[in-house]
Structure 1
Amino acid sequence: MPKKILFIYNANSDTGSKMLDFAHKIINPATYNCNLCSLTYGSFTENKQWKGFRESLLAKGYELEFFHKDEFQENYKSKFGHAFTYPIILEETDHDLEVLVSAEKLNVMETVENLIGEVGSFSVQ
């Protein structure tokens, strides 16, 4: 069972980036470059189905952390030297970071149910 799951969005945390991302999701969602964002959040709020699933993981004892890519790179650059493609979902083990769901997999998911099914498959191991 994963101890800590890290969700890293393909977006930066600064205000300008957040505003551009918000506008991009509304104006041209088909070309938005963070499918993890698109699956877990609508234009204004967290997807209700995802929120319920996320809360169920917390209730099972999982530690979940959510990062913009710049925040992740700053927090983990000295700890692990990996270069990742974003968005990505990782598991932090005692010694390393392991990919749970790659950017390639995330980027072809079409529904939040796909994401829940993929992440849920790890939470039952």
Structure 2
Amino acid sequence: MTKAHPDLVLVYNADGGPLASLFGAVHKVVSPGTYQCSLCKTTHGALTVHGEWQDFLNTLPNRTRIHYRDEFAKLEPGFTGDLPAILVQHQGAPAELLVSADEFAAIADAASLRAIVAERLARA
């Protein structure tokens, strides 16, 4: 029997919804240095996800779930880590940290993030 692939859970340090997305897009353009979501900055332009990041996610055998901090806090009230974060979750088990908020400071670009996620998913 083969082991099931865990879900890949991306949690952005930004609120969801159209208005929050609009404010976030403006913030990224006007004052990118103060934008708080390093996962957003790495994987998205001002308005949309970078194609190479989306292509990477599409090639993974893992189901990808995307959450924003406001909805994730309701889904996982016991999560105490900082955001943004990338987690893995095996069926019926609590989510485990794959990439922490602190690690995002050292991730230069989407290519580096892809390499880290791929390597760690292979061990998950």
TM-score band, normalised by shorter chain: 0.7 to 0.9
Q: More deviation in 99-108 or 7-16?
A: 7-16
Q: Conserved in 2, the CA contact under 8 Å of 1:25 and 1:32?
A: yes
Aligned to 2:81: 84
Cα 1:105–1:3 change in 2 (3 A) is same
What is the identity percentage for the equivalent residue pairs of Structure 1 and Structure 2? 26
1:109 to 86, 89, 107: 107
1:46 deviates by 1.3
What amino acid does structure 2 have at the position aligned with 1:28? Answer: S
Q: Any unmatched runs of 5+ in structure 2? A: none
Paired residue total: 119
Aligned to 2:70: 70
Q: Conserved in 2, the CA contact under 8 Å of 1:2 and 1:91?
A: no
Aligned to 1:7: 10
Q: Counterparts of 2:117 and 2:51 in 1: how far apart (Å)?
A: 16
What amino acid does structure 1 have at the position aligned with 2:106? Answer: V
Q: Counterparts of 1:51 and 1:16 in 2: how far apart (Å)?
A: 23
So what's the TM-score if we normalise by structure 2? 0.87
Q: Counterparts of 1:112 and 1:51 in 2: how far apart (Å)?
A: 10
2:42 to 30, 39, 44: 39
